[in-house]
Structure formats: structure tokens, C-alpha cells
Amino acid sequence: MLQFRNSSYDLLLFGPHPPPAVRFQYDSQDRIIPEPVRERQKRGIIENLKRSGKNVQILPLYHFRSLREDPAGIILELGHTDFGEYLLCENSRPGWNAAEPEMRMSCPLSISAVTESSDHFLMMGYRSAAVVSHAGKIQTLPGGYIHPPDLIPGTVENELREELAVNIPEIAEVSVTGLARIHPSGKPEILLHIRLNIPLSEIFSRRGVDRWEFSGIFTVPATRDAVADFFASSGIVMAPASHAALAAYASHMFGIGPDTWPVADR
């Protein structure tokens, strides 16, 4: 397992592993339970976001506790949280270490994937104004939260269907390439490389139900030079989790260390 650190995220590289080699140990009783005043704060944050035009859904999530490696792969220790608790933690701790240090962090588990078409293009999108975080930033596709009791394969299938209208038989291979902890929250992102068995033209002819998350979709050729040029020109305006996913992809595919890429903007 290799570890890298920059001002936007900590990056653990491992594998690549097939998704079944990344196992979850979930304790549904390990919960972040706010006091009543926290519940009121949470509802207020959600109402304000909705009034500002954000699409907010409060669904159950995995709370990331720790990661360990064993001969069979990777084990993630997980508890329970939800998106409202994540929003509460994000908004309650502007200094993270200085403000309310007794409050546990929500740390909801997500995936961030680099998806490659059969004719070797990588899918990217500009995050729309309706998303809660990093509006306008560049994101690799797909990405999303993992909702208990789902595991990585089901989440990948759901997100590909919802964002790109890709169906399960059109997925050729899924590899888990690492895990990122985004600064300053420590939010965990499982990083993936997805290969499809359909070409770019077929993907672009469709529209997923979650296409609203993006104001535009574009591609980058899946070559060493094209990815390096993309990092040099656009890496600083990527969402940090997607920056980490592309850095993990480039490291595994081209043998170039993530510490060589321009750092993502927070």
C-alpha cells in the first residue's frame, strides 16, 4: 500500500483489486446521534440548501471508521450516518480543529470512478449549480455515496445507470485502485477504474436520470500524454475526489506518482 499526501487529500494506493476483495464490516449501532439542538440545526441547513436551488436527499450512509489490509484484500470498518449529519458536520466546524472538537465527523463513504469507453476515452463532467458541493468543478464519472446495505458493485452499477445510462452487461471490468481522504473533512472516497464494452458514441447518445448533476460532459483520451496534459491544464479546477481518482488511475496505468500532478482546488 502506497501513501501520498497533498493539501487537498491523502491518497492510499492499493491493488488494483476486484470489488469483492474490498469488504465492509458494518456496525449499524455505531451512530452519530446529535442532541435535539443539532437536529434543529440540521433541518435548518437542509431547508436553506433547498431554498437556494440545491437538490438534497437525506439518505442513510456509511460512516468510515478505519481501513486495514489482509491477505485477501482490504477491509473497511464502517458505522452509520446520513447526509444530513454530514451537512451538519461540514457547516458546524469552519476551522475543523478549532471549532467544537468534541463533535464526531460524519465521514460518509463515497465512490469516485474513472470510466473508460471501449474506444479508450475517459468520461468527465462539469458539476452543475444544483449539486451541494464543488459546483462548476470538473468531476470524473461516475461518483456517488454508498447507501447501506449496498456494496461497491451495486453502487457502481447504480451510478453508471443513473449518470450515463450504462447497463450492467455493458460493464467490462471494475477495479478498486485506492482510497482518498479529502481535506479538511477527512471524507473518504473509494477510487475505481471502470472499463466499458461500448464506445463513446453509444454513451453520448443516451441521457441518465441524474444528468442534472452536470452542466456538460466531455472526454479525455486514455493515454499517458493526454492525461498528463489534462492535469497540467485543468487539474487545479477538479473536485478533489475526482482529482484523486484520476491520479490513482494514472499511477496504476502509466506508473507516474500522484505527487507529480498539480494539486486540486478545494
pLDDT recorded at residue 109: 97
List, for residues 97-145, the tens digit of each pLDDT value.
444 555 678 999 999 999 999 999 999 999 888 776 677 899 999 999 9
pLDDT recorded at residue 45: 79
- Asked whether residue 240 carries a pLDDT value surpassing 70, the answer given is yes
pLDDT band at 2 (very low <50, low <70, confident <90, very high): confident
Which pTM value belongs to this model? 0.90
The owner of cell 478505519 is 66
pLDDT recorded at residue 51: 80
pLDDT recorded at residue 36: 66
Mean per-residue pLDDT of the chain? 88
All domains of the chain, ordered by start, with CATH? 2-260 (3.90.79.10)
SS3 per-residue string spanning the chain: CEEEECCCEEEEEEEEECHHHEEEEEEEEEECCCCHHHHHHHHHHHHHHHHCCCCCCCCEEEEEEEEEEECCEEEEEEEEEEHHHHHHHHHHCCCCCCCCCCCCCCCECEEEEEEECCCCEEEEEEECCCCCCCCCCEEECCEEECCCCCCHHHHHHHHHHHHHCCCHHHEEEEEEEEEEEECCCCEEEEEEEEEECCCHHHHHCCCCCCHHHEEEEEEEECCHHHHHHHHHHHHHHECHHHHHHHHHHHHHHHCCCHHHCCCCCC
List, for residues 166-180, the tens digit of each pLDDT value.
999 999 999 999 999
